[in-house]
Amino acid sequence: MAVEAIGSSQRVKVAPWNDPVIRGWVFQIVVVGLVGLLAWYLVSNTMENLQRQKIASGFDYLGREAGFEIGDTMIEYSPASTYARAIWVGILNTLRVAVLGILLSTILGTVIGVGRLSPNWLLSRICEWYVEAFRNVPLLLWLFLFYKLISEAFPGPRQAIGAFWNTVFLSNRGLYFPVPMEDPIHKWMGLGLLVGLAAAVALHRWAKRRQEATGQPFPSILAGIGMTLGVPFVVWLAGGAPHHMSWPELKGFNFVGGTVIQPEFTALLIGLVLYTSAFVAEIVRSGILALHKGQSEAAAALGLSRGQSMRLVLLPQALRVIVPPMTSQYLNITKNSSLAIAIGYPDLVASINVTINQTGQAIENILIIMAAYLSVSLSISAFMNWYNKRIALRER
Amino acid sequence: MLNKIMAAGVVAVGLVGAAGTAQAGKDLDAVKARGQLICGVSTGVAGFASADSQGKWTGIDVDVCRAVSAALFGDSEKVKYVPTTAQQRFTALQSGEVDLLSRTTTYTLTRDTALGFDFTGVNYYDGQGFMVNKKLGVKSAKELNGATVCVQPGTTTELNLADYFRANKMTFKPVVIEKIEEVRAAFFAGRCDVFTTDASGLYATRAANAPNPDDYIILPEIISKEPLGPVVRHGDNQFADIVRWALYAMIEAEEYGITSKNVDEMLKSDNPSIKRILGVTPGMGKALGVDEKWVYNIVKSVGNYGESFDRNVGAGSPLKIARGQNELWTKGGLQYAPPIR
């Protein structure tokens, strides 16, 4: 920009083909045109070939009956549902494992990363071994290991391990536990949760302002948790406290009632979390080590405990180093969750694969799967970029 | 995923290529000039096609290849076996990598037409079945309500399964894993109550992969039609005829009681049908374009259909599959060969 600005202010007359501005534009138009031509060629060629071989195209199949069953669904689904719904089930399953994986691996990774810097020799060695073991073995092998451990080590449903007075059952079919019966009050309780959460955030902001102004601390975290949980509880009481539960019980082959966490999901989540935590730990460690030693010394000189100096002084500064590479790890979790297909968790890839096989419409399905992963990944990136900007060092 | 797309691409190229090669006799000439039949088989399904430690292939599908070789060359061992996976098999045949595909392949309309193939017969009438652990005490598939079922994705098996449970107003939970080895492992580890695939596959899995085969039973219900048979490319009708009648000859031989042990005595038979079949009365070989002793050669080296069945999958094998639908039509089964005359 700067060079152009100088150039334009003292414009020398040159032939158009020697003018760098015009030349720049011409080249860019040529490149865009070529890319456009290539895309047009690929698309039209594909369409023509599909037509010649009488391979069906278009997205009409999405409305047709899928005909296959899915073992683990978060929403109502049966073989009579449409392909679109089967794919939606897959997307939700991918999101479920990705979101939980991101939350858990952030927590575990931070603990391990901080642990590696601990002055306690044993603790830091254990954390080091953990990191080396998990990040140096392919994730797929960990998934196989955890899946085999769960399906081989746990007993069948008829010999299930019962716990808590036989209300919770663990077997190779998963962990069954009781849940409250469906009740209209649950919707209102969810609303109450959101209200409580908003109130807690407001309270925390107020407490922070007060502490900055007057120096008086307020236990806003505890109060916030109380509000978040308390509001839905009050709603529940106001709704007559319905307490009918759906209990799991052995009926025929499997447990019926309650709800279940299936082995495929568990193995995938454990594998993703343990594997990604190793990388997160290294990112956290590098973030902390990037800080000047004077920061922790100054914190100590102020009389802060190790925990306080970590929480109040070191981590907030380290976050600026940590967040950008963390974004990549979050994206990795989301994309790595597609390894689910190896151990039979019905994620997006599994739904799409079956759909391709049954409809023969590979191109449309690949487009759907790419669009789905792209939008999830871009959303994560956008959120992390926003967060990064928020915590960035503000120059005053 | 990528593999599938590439496979689809190769199939497409193969289809275009196949259209140009539709002239009679080309495939047969190539086989004769080579002096060897190239036969596509499974990568290893006990009883159907599997190689031993010396690399010798045996199985009921392998016997079809051997019979064709015997009819063509008078020697059942002039065959090169090419193991193919379920995904590669059609590409291998379309591209000419194999002359003949004899690989537990279900005869369907799409495959017979759109893929550019000809099925030449059915060497095994199969159907989808269920295998369960005896400990469950289940005697019929109708009792499987609420069961967890291990199945391979993207197959007709998966759809048949859902249809069957819906039709019988039952529910099930599928465990769907892409690799068949992992599906089997999950079933034998007890992750599922039921394993479903073609009944022949169930018998083979039980015999070859179960920690203790006696612990498992295959339920009597067969929920789909899966006629398995040899396949050739469209276009060379003479070669297709030879493959078709090589299999029919084995069935016909069983019907007339001609076995590998008595075939030499049968040459002296007075029965005009047997004389015609074995080429004592000439004509059949000439019509087919092979040696007049073609059936003799097949039965002598490979045996008749019943012998092949017993040796590979029946009573004389570890699989112990009953003849059932694969019994001759004269004994209440479906195996029926048009007359050799």
B271 within some domain: yes
B154 with A358: Cβ contact below 8 A: yes
Owning domain of residue B152: 128-224
Helices (H), A167-262: 185-214, 220-238
CATH assignment at residue B322: 3.40.190.10
pTM value is 0.74
At B201-240, the pLDDT tens digits run: 898 889 888 889 899 999 988 999 989 999 999 889 999 9
Q: Is residue A72 part of a domain?
A: no
pLDDT exceeds 60 at position A52:
yes
Total domains in the fold of chain A? 3
Q: What is the pLDDT of residues A216-247, one digit of tens each?
A: 877 777 888 888 888 888 888 887 777 778 88
| Averaged pLDDT for residues B231-259 | 94
Q: What is the mean pLDDT of chain B?
A: 88
Q: Which chain A residues have a beta carbon less than 8 Å from that of B189? A: 148, 151-152, 172
Residue B337 belongs to some domain of the structure = no
- Residue A20 is predicted with a pLDDT of 84
Indicate the residue among A226, A243, A260 that finishes a domain: A243
Same domain, B116 and B257: yes
pLDDT (mean) for B92-109: 88
Question: Cβ A362–B182 below 8 Å, yes or no?
Answer: no
Q: What is the pLDDT of residue B4?
A: 47
A53 pLDDT tier (thresholds 50, 70, 90): low
- Domains contained in chain B, number: 2
| pLDDT of B21 | 39
Where does the pLDDT of residue B12 fall: very low under 50, low under 70, confident under 90, or very high at 90 and above? very low
Alpha carbon of residue A125 to chain centroid? 29
Does A207 share its domain with A99?
Answer: no
Contact residues, chain A, for B182 at CB < 8 Å: 342-344
B220 and B233 co-located in one domain: no
The answer to whether residues A196 and A301 belong to one domain is no
Examine the pLDDT at A37 and tell me if it is beyond 90. yes
Chain B residues within an 8 Å CB radius of A356 = 4, 154
The CA distance from A96 to the nearest CA of chain B, in Å, is 19
Contact status of B148 with chain A (Cβ, < 8 Å): yes
Partner residue facing B176 (CB), from A252, A263, A346: A346
- Evaluate whether residue B300 is within a structural domain: yes
What is the tens place of the pLDDT at every residue in B41-88? 988 888 999 998 898 999 999 999 999 999 999 999 999 999 987 767
Would you tell me which residues 35-54 of chain A have a C-beta closer than 8 angstroms to some C-beta of chain B? Answer: 49, 53-54
A25 exposure class (CB count in 10 Å sphere: 0-12, 13-18, 19+): exposed
Q: Is A76 on the interface with B (CB under 8 A)?
A: no
| CB contacts, 8 Å: B158 with chain A | 68-69, 354
Residue A70 lies in a domain: no
Q: CB–CB of B64/B102 below 8 Å?
A: yes
Strand duo A259-261 + B79-83: pairing: unpaired
For the stretch B263-282, pLDDT in tens is 999 999 999 999 999 999 99
Residue A280 sits in the same domain as residue A291: yes
Domain shared by A238 and A248, yes or no: no
Reduced to 3 states (helix: H, G, I; strand: E, B; else coil), residue B130 is: strand
Tell which of B224, B254, B277 closes a domain: B224
Min CA distance, A323 vs chain B (Å)?
33
- Per-residue confidence (pLDDT) for residue A241, from 0 to 100: 77
Does B153 reach chain A within 8 Å, measured CB to CB?
A: yes
pLDDT at A167 over 50: yes
pLDDT(B109) > 70: yes
Contact across the interface for A366 and B161, Cβ inside 8 Å? no
Q: Is residue B206 part of a domain?
A: yes
Work out the average pLDDT over A112-137: 93
How far apart are the CA of A329 and the nearest CA of chain B, in angstroms?
24
Q: Are residues B216 and B250 in the same domain?
A: no
Cα A339 from chain centroid (whole Å): 15
Q: Would you state the pLDDT for residue A239?
A: 78
Q: Is the pLDDT of residue B6 over 80?
A: no
> For residues B299 and B260, is the Cβ–Cβ distance under 8 A?
yes
Identify whether residues A134 and A270 lie together within a single domain. yes
Question: Which one has a higher pLDDT value, A392 or A298?
Answer: A298
Domain ends where: A203, A226, A243? Answer: A243
A69 inside domain: no
pLDDT of residue B79: 96
Q: What are the tens digits of pLDDT across the range A145-160? A: 999 888 888 888 878 8
Asked if A69's CB is within 8 angstroms of B154's CB, the reply is no
Nearest by CB to residue A263, choosing from B114, B155, B191, is B191
Domain end marker among A243, A258, A277: A243
Check A344 against B15: CB less than 8 A apart.
Answer: no
Q: Do B87 and B50 lie in a common domain?
A: yes
End residue of a domain, out of B170, B192, B224: B224
Nearest by CB to residue A69, choosing from B12, B15, B172, is B172
Q: Are residues B196 and B152 in the same domain?
A: yes
Res. B173: pLDDT tops 50: yes
Mutation to test the B interface, candidates A65, A143, A253, most B Cβ within 10 Å: A253
What is the mean predicted confidence (pLDDT) over A332-341?
A: 92
Question: Closest Cα to residue B59, out of B325, B260, B312?
Answer: B312
- CB contact residues (below 8 A), chain B span 245-264, against chain A: none
Model pLDDT, residue A134: 93
Window B:65-124, CB contacts with A under 8 Å = 114
Distance from CA of B145 to the nearest CA of A (A): 8
For B158, nearest residue in chain A (alpha carbons): A68
Q: Are residues A206 and A252 in the same domain?
A: no
Please indicate, yes or no, if residue A57 is contained in any of the structural domains. Answer: no
A342 in the same domain as A194:
no
Find the closest chain A residue to B161 by CA distance: A68
Q: Do B218 and B284 lie in a common domain?
A: no
pLDDT at B145 over 80: yes
- Residues B300-338 pLDDT 10s: 999 999 999 999 999 999 888 889 899 999 999 999 999
Residues of chain B neighbouring A366 (CB-CB closer than 8 A):
1, 5
- Per the domain annotation, does A128 fall within a domain? yes
Tens digit of each residue's pLDDT (9 = 90 or more) over B181-207: 888 889 998 889 999 998 888 988 898
Contact residues, chain A, for B114 at CB < 8 Å: 54
| Same domain, yes or no: A202 and A331 | no
What DSSP line would sit under A304-315, residue for residue?
--HHHIIIIIIH
The mean pLDDT of chain A is 86
CA distance B307 to chain A (A): 37
Contact B146 A49 (CB under 8 A): no
**Identity of the amino acid at A128:** E
Q: How far is A170 from chain B (nearest CA, A)?
A: 13
Q: How far apart are CA B72 and CA B289, in angstroms?
A: 9
Q: What is the pLDDT of residue B88?
A: 73
> Which residues of B fall within a CB distance of 8 Å from A172?
189-191
Is the domain of A253 the same as that of A112? yes
Same domain, A256 and A239: no
The verdict on B1 touching A (C-beta cutoff 8 Å) is yes
Band of residue A133 on the pLDDT scale cut at 50, 70, 90: very high
Whole-number Å distance between alpha carbons of A263 and A269: 10
What pLDDT does residue B10 have? 44
pLDDT exceeds 70 at position A5: no
d(CA A270, CA A268): 6
Q: Which domain holds residue A376?
A: 83-181+244-391
Q: Which of B224, B259, B282 is the last residue of a domain?
A: B224
CATH code (residue A287): 1.10.3720.10
Q: Is B8 on the interface with A (CB under 8 A)?
A: yes
The residue with greater pLDDT, A392 or A271, is A271
In a domain, A396, yes or no: no
Rounded distance, CA A28 to CA B340, Å? 75
Q: Are residues B110 and B6 in the same domain?
A: yes
Long-range Cβ contact pairs of A130-136 (< 8 A, separation 24 or more): A130/A278, A130/A281, A131/A278, A131/A281, A131/A282, A132/A278, A133/A278, A134/A274, A134/A275, A134/A277, A134/A278, A135/A275, A135/A278, A135/A279, A135/A282
Do B274 and B196 lie in a common domain?
no
Q: Do B158 and A68 touch (CB under 8 A)?
A: yes
Q: Is B339 a domain residue?
A: no
Residues of B in contact with A368 (CB under 8 A): none
Contacts of A341 in chain B (CB under 8 A): 177-178
DSSP code for B272: H
Residue B116 and residue B132 in one domain: no
Angstroms from B238 CA to nearest CA on chain A: 27
B309, B171: one domain:
no
Q: What percent of chain A is predicted at pLDDT more than 90?
A: 37
Give the pLDDT confidence of A81-95 residue by residue, as tens digits.
Answer: 999 999 999 999 999
Residues in A 244-303 with any Cβ partner in B closer than 8 A: 251-254, 256, 263-264
pLDDT in tens, A38-49: 999 988 888 887
- The mean pLDDT of A56-84, rounded to a whole number, is 86
pLDDT band, residue A372 (cuts 50/70/90) = very high
Task: Considering only the beta carbons, identify the residue of B148, B162, B178 that sits closest to A173.
Answer: B148
Show residues of chain B in contact with A69, CB under 8 Å: 158, 161-162, 165, 172-174
Is B336 a member of any domain?
A: no
> Are B210 and B245 in a shared domain?
no
| Partner-chain residue, chosen from A148, A253, A358, that has the shortest CB–CB distance to B148 | A253
Contact B144 A253 (CB under 8 A): yes
Cα torsion angle, A128, A130, A133, A135, sign? negative
User: Is residue A208 located within the same domain as residue A289?
Assistant: no
Q: Closest CB to B1: pick one of A69, A344, A353.
A: A353
Q: Does one domain contain both B51 and B180?
A: no
Cα-only R_g, chain A: 28
